[in-house]
Amino acid sequence: MQPIDILILSNGPGEVSTWVRPVVKALRQHLGDDRTSVRISVILSPCTHAMGTESAIAQSYPEVDRVQSPEHFFPFLLWGKTAENWDWHRKGIVLFLGGDQFFPLVIGKRLGYRTLIYAEWDARWYRWIDHFAVMNASVMRKIPPHYHDKMTVIGDLMEDIISEFSPSPLKDGSSEALIALLPGSKPWKLDQGVPLCLAIAQQIQLKRPNTRFIIPVAPTLNLPTLAKFADRQQNPIINQFAWVGASLGTNEEDKPYFKTDGGLKIELITQFPAYDLLSQSHLALTTVGANTAELATLSVPMIVLLPTQRLDAMRTWDGLPGMLANLPGVGSLFAKMINLMVMRKKRLYAWPNLWAKEEIVPELLGELKAEEVAQIALNWLENPEQLETIRKRLQSVRGEPGAAYKMATLVKQLSY
> For residue 316, is pLDDT > 60?
no
What CA–CA distances, in Å, run from 109 to 113, 207, 290?
A: 7, 62, 32
- How confident is the model over 234-262, as a mean pLDDT? 93
Candidate CATH numbers 3.20.20.60, 3.40.50.2000, 3.40.30.10, 3.30.70.270; the one for domain 4-158+401-415: 3.40.50.2000
Q: What was the pLDDT predicted at 332? A: 61
> For residue 389, is pLDDT > 80?
yes
Which amino acid type is present at position 142?
K
Report which secondary-structure segment, H or E, holds 59. Answer: helix 54-59
Q: Which fold has domain 178-396?
A: Rossmann fold (3.40.50)
DSSP state, residue 126: T
> For residue 313, is pLDDT > 60?
no
Q: What was the pLDDT predicted at 318? A: 45
75 or 347, greater pLDDT: 75
Q: Under a CB-based contact definition with an 8 Å cutoff, are residues 189 and 287 in contact?
A: yes
> For residue 369, is pLDDT > 80?
yes
Q: Where are the domains of the chain?
A: 4-158+401-415, 178-396
Residue 91's pLDDT band (cuts 50, 70, 90) = very high
- Mean pLDDT score of the chain: 88
pLDDT tens figures, 277-304: 998 999 999 998 888 988 998 899 999 9
* Residue of 394, 239, 373, 220 whose CA lies nearest to 306: 373
Map residue 6 onto helix, strand or coil. Answer: strand
Q: What was the pLDDT predicted at 228? A: 96
Q: What was the pLDDT predicted at 308? A: 80
Q: Under a CB-based contact definition with an 8 Å cutoff, are residues 220 and 52 in contact?
A: yes
> For residue 344, is pLDDT > 70?
no
Distance in angstroms (rounded) separating the CA atoms of residues 67 and 74: 15
Distance in angstroms (rounded) separating the CA atoms of residues 292 and 182: 9
